[in-house]
Structure 1
Amino acid sequence: MLATQRGDDHDDSAHAPVRQPARVHGRRDEPMTDVDQLQDLIRSFLRDPFGANGEQAPGWIPAADIEETDDAYILELDVPGLKREDVNIELRDSEVRIRGEIKEKERTGLLRRQTRRVGQFEFGMTLPGDINPDRVDATLRDGVLTVRLGKATASQPRQVQIKD
């Protein structure tokens, strides 16, 4: 219920002014770019808040899907424009770290707008189980990097028989 300027509490909604939506300031053509950059910054800060590892922070973190099957973890990262020679996949125990760089295209004209991601990126995570290093492979196809990490035998589910 809206109160009128007279200060009483009866409903004057028929005479109330129509509220206009708040105007958002900033670039109207790229609203999600700023949100994506903020999310990347927050993720980077949460991983290494004080830059303790002494390395330069990556420019961005690729979008990823992580799937767990009975025998593997499957990571799919969106990295359009990435070349095989520009990516490094490192495994340590149950941790996987993927670093790379999408190089900016050389241009002859004036770049008026750029929304594609370029530069260094990093994706890292600790998996809930151990990885068998002999059962790891990666493919890069149609802008998607797929890394299949086979589970160690001890990490795979198994049936337990109940004894009398």
Structure 2
Amino acid sequence: MNDTMLNFPGTLFGELERLQRQLEDTMGSGRAASIRPAAPGAFPAINVGNTPTSVEIYAFAPGVDAAALELTLDRGVLIVAGERTAPDTGSAEHRFAYSRERPFGRFRRAITLPDDIDPSRVEAKYQDGVLRVSVARRAEAQPQRIAIQ
């Protein structure tokens, strides 16, 4: 089968290739982390945006205690990790669930940030289940108006 068939959407091989890329992005493959979206249902859901002076990251983690969150920035990769505990379902005979859509347990998400960030100027706030991380851009990376003589 030629390469055109492999990359054609809707073919079995194209779908397998897409799934492999998705698995590598989610689980890691030795490549750098990415700001590309993770698979649907990844926890916590993350939004990443820009302003001229900062990169803004929102991690939606309802039901997670702030003390259970860990935030690290290493070589331009922001890591949001933590744990969401399972709900207390009462006695043993009531713990069986037919369906469980709310994930719990340990989680870890990595977001590659642009090269112009200032790792010494990071602010993080957690309120109402939303972790907001603001990473300032370096002053020298800001656009500057140049006077013409």
TM-score bracket, normalised by the shorter chain, equals: 0.5 to 0.7
Alpha carbons of structure 1 residues 128 and 104: separation in structure 2 relative to 1, 3 Å = same
**1:27-71 deviation line (CA, Å, top 9, x unaligned):** xxxxxxxxxxx99745323x3369xxxxxxxxx542111111011
In the superposition, relative to structure 1, how do residues 69 and 97 fare at CA in structure 2: closer, same or farther (>3 Å)?
Answer: same
**1:104 matched to 2:104:** no
* Match in the other structure for 2:66: 84
Q: Which runs of 5+ in 2 are unaligned?
A: 1-19, 32-41
**Which deviations, in whole Å up to 9, do the C-alpha atoms of 1:86-131 show, x marking residues without a partner?**
1111112422111111111222123423111111111112211333
Percent identity among equivalent residues? 24
SS for the counterpart of 1:43 is helix
Tell me how many residue pairs correspond in the alignment: 116
TM-score (norm 2): 0.65
- The reply to whether residue 48 of structure 1 matches residue 29 of structure 2 is yes
Counterpart residue number, 1:131: 117
> Looking at both structures, which has the greater relative contact order when contacts are Cα pairs under 8 Å and sequence separation is at least 6?
2
Which consecutive aligned stretches of 4+ in structure 1 deviate over 6 angstroms post-superposition? none
Where does the alignment leave 5 or more consecutive residues of structure 1 unmatched?
Answer: 1-37, 51-59
RMSD: 2.6
Query: Which position in structure 2 is the counterpart of 1:12?
Result: none
Write the distance in 1 (CA, Å) between the matches of 2:121 and 2:105: 30
The answer as to whether partners of 2:43 and 2:61 remain within 8 angstroms in 1 is: no
Residue 7 of structure 1 corresponds to none
Amino acid at match of 2:124: A
CA contact (8 A) 1:93 1:131 kept: no
Contact 1:40/1:61, CA 8 A, preserved across alignment? no
Using the alignment, how far apart are the partners of 1:134 and 1:88 within structure 2? 17
Distance in 2 separating the partners of 1:61 and 1:155 = 32
